[in-house]
Amino acid sequence: MTDTDLLFTPAVQAAALIRRKKLSPVEYLDAVLKAAERANPRINCFREVMVDRARRDAKKAEEAVTRGERLGPLHGIPISVKDLVDVEGAPTRHGSAIFEGNGPAAADDLLVQRLRAAGAVIFAKATTPEFGVKGLTDGPFGVTRNPWNLERTPGGSSGGGAAAVAAGLGPLSLGTDGAGSVRGPASCSGLVGLKPTLGAVPYDTTRDAYGNNIYAGPLARSVTDAAIMHSVLVGPSDKDPWTLSGPSQKPLSPKLAGSDLAGVRIGYIERTANPRVAADVRDNTRASLAAWEAMGVEIEEVTEKIDWIEYEGRVLYQANFAVFCAQYLPKWQNQMDPVTLAFMERGAKFTLADFRNAQFARTALFRKIQSLFDRYDFLVMPTNARTALDVTHDAANDEVMIDGVKCGITRQGWTSYQYPFNLTGHPACAYPSGFGTDGLPTSVQVVGKWGAETDVLRMGALLEGARPWAQHRPPAA
């Protein structure tokens, strides 16, 4: 196997080769590090590459194989972690000039601990915009670029991890998703990106545990890889109240066990708060629906009016940043991202009544989505309304262009399919659906019932079998 083929080997296959002593974790890591050294100057996906620690861990992984120890499902697999999540021995800079001088983290985040316990070799911190605030990835570290087209964004805010996985720099990356920040980059980069059910995967570092809308999930090139990583991350934490009696992962629905899906119903949603969807995205979404329909799935378009609370969602999002970031303004205002500052300025204008009404609206949206699941097993829609934006796009002010028409700022015109499910808590996963007329990936989003990640992933696996995608490699890889 060539190094290039190894870089694009699914994690599940690489782990099997390691267990059978046909692949050395040390040689595997070295191949990834060499590729990262070549590719990172072009795509700028890593903020920190932890060469020495990763090599020590890979060596230990190899020794464990030699000794015949019991091995975890990710044993010897190189994984990157978004730079909002602590990794022992590496700085956590949060994509911000404010934390450029941070020293090494004293301990691993709980999720990093779980990845290491499963055998993963953590080798890099992936780039993120300041505090993960926007759907593009740039900051004091420069601009992160999409391996499919270096003039386009890989999305955000888990854009560094998405660009890395798409380019073959590790088969998996740990991302976080506060308003689509795993699914959007997956859509832009031709990947699988899972946002789990609220309470399935702990998010210990959120400031508002009870009103949480932030999730952690995998970015992967295959459904199986995403499913294995998700299975490693789930479980309660005494610091996250949602997880303590949170949703258990439901077993696979019996009607999804085989290839005859005659008992399955999909509600198709063509638009949410967005005024338009690009023709190529719509066509590829419908092609994905047709693949499921050929397996016996009944598909019905959801035509009833739904208030997707774009305004109220913006109140919650921007007001939170206005309050949280206010402490940094006296010293750091001139070095903060203009998008962060713009969101703070807008958020500061909302009243307490605005904020409480937005919280009430969140509950109403949850109940509306719950009512849809009385009729449907899944909701399906595009993940983004168009392919990846230009890297120069101003997320705070520039309107998104779709088929020559201005469609509002990013959350209105581009990522509007994503944030509602951060608010309702339902599991949602982005899957590649094909390529647009510009040659960039498009994506379809599958939303499931609470705790039904296994069903959501099964639907992705069936789509993957009918319309394979992992054989495609970006030109900048």
**Residue 131 structural domain:** 10-237
Closest listed residue to residue 189, CA positions, set 147, 150, 228, 218 = 147
Q: Classify residue 96 as left (phi > 0), alpha (psi -120 to 50) or beta.
A: beta
Count other C-beta atoms under 10 Å from residue 368's C-beta. 17
Contact yes or no for 47/87 (Cβ under 8 A): no
- Distance, in Å, from the CA atom of 87 to the CA atom of 30, rounded to the nearest integer, reads 20
The pLDDT score that the predictor gives to residue 443 is 99
Give a yes or no: residue 346 inside a domain. Answer: no
Give a yes or no: residue 316 inside a domain. Answer: no
Q: Is 82 a catalytic residue?
A: yes
- Distance, in Å, from the CA atom of 219 to the CA atom of 45, rounded to the nearest integer, reads 14
Active-site residue, from 157, 189, 222, 433: 157
Give a yes or no: residue 388 inside a domain. Answer: no
Q: Is 157 a catalytic residue?
A: yes
Active-site residue, from 82, 134, 195, 449: 82
Count other C-beta atoms under 10 Å from residue 194's C-beta. 33
Contact yes or no for 159/137 (Cβ under 8 A): yes
The pLDDT score that the predictor gives to residue 6 is 97
The pLDDT score that the predictor gives to residue 245 is 86
3-state helix, strand, coil in the chain (%, to 5): 40, 15, 45
The pLDDT score that the predictor gives to residue 324 is 96
CATH of the domain at 137: 3.90.1300.10
Tokens 């009918």 sit at which residue? Answer: 466
- Summarised one tens digit per residue, pLDDT across range 94-135 is 999 999 999 999 999 999 999 999 999 999 999 999 999 999
- Look at the chain and report how many structural domains it folds into: 1
Digit-by-digit pLDDT tens for the chain (477 residues) are 788 999 999 999 999 999 999 999 999 999 999 999 999 999 999 999 999 999 999 999 999 999 999 999 999 999 999 999 999 999 999 999 999 999 999 999 999 999 999 999 999 999 999 999 999 999 999 999 999 999 999 999 999 999 999 999 999 999 999 999 999 999 999 999 999 999 999 999 999 999 999 999 999 999 999 999 999 999 999 999 999 987 789 999 999 999 999 999 999 999 999 999 999 999 999 999 999 999 999 999 999 999 999 999 999 999 999 999 999 999 999 999 999 999 999 999 999 999 999 999 999 999 999 999 999 999 999 999 999 999 999 999 999 999 999 999 999 999 999 999 999 999 999 999 999 999 999 999 999 999 999 999 999 999 999 999 999 999 977
Give a yes or no: residue 222 inside a domain. Answer: yes
- Distance, in Å, from the CA atom of 141 to the CA atom of 132, rounded to the nearest integer, reads 14
- Distance, in Å, from the CA atom of 210 to the CA atom of 240, rounded to the nearest integer, reads 8
Give a yes or no: residue 458 inside a domain. Answer: no
CA dihedral 139, 30, 431, 468 (to 10 degrees): 140
Strands annotated E in 52-115: 78-82
Active-site residue, from 158, 173, 181, 416: 181
In this structure, which amino acid lies at residue 178? G
The pLDDT score that the predictor gives to residue 248 is 80
The pLDDT score that the predictor gives to residue 22 is 98
Q: Classify residue 133 as left (phi > 0), alpha (psi -120 to 50) or beta.
A: alpha
Q: Is 245 a catalytic residue?
A: no
Closest listed residue to residue 13, CA positions, set 68, 60, 75 = 75
Q: Look at strands 78-82 and 121-126 and give their pairing.
A: parallel
H helix and E strand count, the chain? 17, 15
Give a yes or no: residue 163 inside a domain. Answer: yes
Count other C-beta atoms under 10 Å from residue 435's C-beta. 17
Residues recorded for the chain: 477
DSSP 153-166: ---SSSHHHHHHHH
Give a yes or no: residue 329 inside a domain. Answer: no
> Rg of the chain's alpha carbons, rounded to an integer?
21
Tokens 């940043």 sit at which residue? Answer: 321
The pLDDT score that the predictor gives to residue 216 is 98
The pLDDT score that the predictor gives to residue 477 is 73
Tokens 């913006």 sit at which residue? Answer: 314
The pLDDT score that the predictor gives to residue 316 is 97
Q: Provide the b/e sequence for 74-99 (b: ≥16 CB within 10 Å).
A: bbbbbbbbbbbbbbbbbbbbbbbbbb
Give a yes or no: residue 393 inside a domain. Answer: no
